[in-house]
Amino acid sequence: MSISPLMPVYPRCGVRPVKGEHCHLIDEDGTRYLDFASGIAVNLLGHSHAGLIGAIQQQAETLMHVSNLYGSPQGEALAQRLVDKTFADTVFFTNSGAEAVEAAIKTARAYHQHEDGDGNRTELITFTNAFHGRTMATISASNQEKMHKGFMPLLAGFQYAEFDNLEHAKSLMSDKTAGFLVEPIQGEGGIRPASDEFMHGLRALADENDLMLIFDEVQCGVARTGKLYAYEHYGIEPDIMATAKGIGGGFPLGACLATEKAARGMGFGTHGSTYGGNPLAMAAGTAVMDAVANDEFLAEVTEKGERLRSRLEQFIGNYPDLFELVRGKGLMLGLKMKVESRPFFVHLRDNHQLLTVAAGDNTLRVLPPLVAGDAEFDEFFDKLSAGAASYDPAG
């Protein structure tokens, strides 16, 4: 037997964290890493946030799980807060981002397959280099062949248009089109914000043709960009939205949000999840909302994002051969490199104890916990500068 007990789907690195302290991770051999990856935009309150820990501890002692057969005071309260703070009228809780996107896809299809709808409208237009998760529907929603290989056939009903290209999206529309599924800021694709014109154009196309506009805010949502949700930067609203990652602060939680109109097909018995929205997850989500869903916190993220960004812009000027530009919003930033970003990310991790995330388009993702402050930013630039100075792209 040579297969590892953990199914070998991840090329795991030598960092083996056993403890987290605020913005740092501590390895099993005691090495401290500065964590500007945040579990890929998950640990937005860092690793030892008293409010989040207390809420989970208290709920675990009180009631951990009950079936969705019963009433849910905890779920109703968190759903009401999300409804109050967003475009949405209704919320379905999941345990992950992919499940939230799955629920969004089902909601869009059910909108058209409702008795008042046009049941031929079954296709979603999605965008190149998107990432929506690893289930069959969510890999089918992405054009990335490396995620498809070995898993054919894909789920039918997705057309891929070029990201940020409204004319291309328009050219793929037909009487089968059900809607659009897009990340307002592509995460895995390389921290690429969609343009205003593109987002407004999609909203207009959806309005004119009675289509569903779905935002995948699994990575860019939950205060990461300085707004509770990134769509607020654009001044338009989706019909349906998937959220996850940061929303549980590290506890597995996601949600599909929708307007009343968009959710018309999602009646009794149409969807479900054993764990989705259980009291423990609701306690974690409520603690995260308590911390981030207020103007002061969001303004701080915006202000820190601006400071980090301008320091990054100054910094890359010192290394014109390595870095091309800085992009993103708030504390969801990407350094587009002129050389491959993955080996540089490995160099920062292994030689300078700085954790970031590599992404598509030769981008290095900088995703600090939203509670990081000047001390952590100073440490980040110390490590990044040392890393850039000691880096030889030729290996």
Ligand X SMILES: *Cc1c(COP(=O)(O)O)cnc(C)c1O
* Contact residues for ligand X, defined by CB under 6 A: 96-98, 101, 131-133, 183, 187-188, 216, 218-219, 244-245
Cα of first residue to Cα of last residue in the chain, in angstroms, is 35
Identify which of residues 215 and 323 has a Cβ nearer to ligand X in the complex.
Answer: 215
Identify which of residues 228 and 384 has a Cβ nearer to ligand X in the complex.
Answer: 228
Identify which of residues 96 and 259 has a Cβ nearer to ligand X in the complex.
Answer: 96
Asked if residues 188 and 131 have their Cβ atoms less than 8 Å apart, the reply is yes
Instruction: Provide φ and ψ at 226, rounded to 5°.
Output: 95, -5
243 is in an annotated binding site: no
237 is in an annotated binding site: no
218 is in an annotated binding site: yes
Identify which of residues 143 and 353 has a Cβ nearer to ligand X in the complex.
Answer: 143
Identify which of residues 244 and 348 has a Cβ nearer to ligand X in the complex.
Answer: 244
Asked if residues 152 and 98 have their Cβ atoms less than 8 Å apart, the reply is no
134 is in an annotated binding site: yes
To the nearest whole angstrom, how small is the minimum distance from the Cβ of residue 296 to ligand X?
27
Closest residue to ligand X in the complex (CB): 97
Identify which of residues 216 and 300 has a Cβ nearer to ligand X in the complex.
Answer: 216
235 is in an annotated binding site: no
To the nearest whole angstrom, how small is the minimum distance from the Cβ of residue 2 to ligand X?
28
To the nearest whole angstrom, how small is the minimum distance from the Cβ of residue 349 to ligand X?
20
To the nearest whole angstrom, how small is the minimum distance from the Cβ of residue 247 to ligand X?
10
Identify which of residues 183 and 300 has a Cβ nearer to ligand X in the complex.
Answer: 183
To the nearest whole angstrom, how small is the minimum distance from the Cβ of residue 360 to ligand X?
12
To the nearest whole angstrom, how small is the minimum distance from the Cβ of residue 194 to ligand X?
12
159 is in an annotated binding site: no
To the nearest whole angstrom, how small is the minimum distance from the Cβ of residue 211 to ligand X?
20
98 is in an annotated binding site: yes
* CA pair distance 199, 324, nearest whole angstrom: 25
- Would you list which residues are annotated within the binding site for pyridoxal 5'-phosphate? 97-98, 131, 216-219, 274
Residues of each annotated binding site for N(2)-acetyl-L-ornithine = 134, 273
> Could you tell me which residues are annotated as the binding site?
97-98, 131, 134, 216-219, 273-274
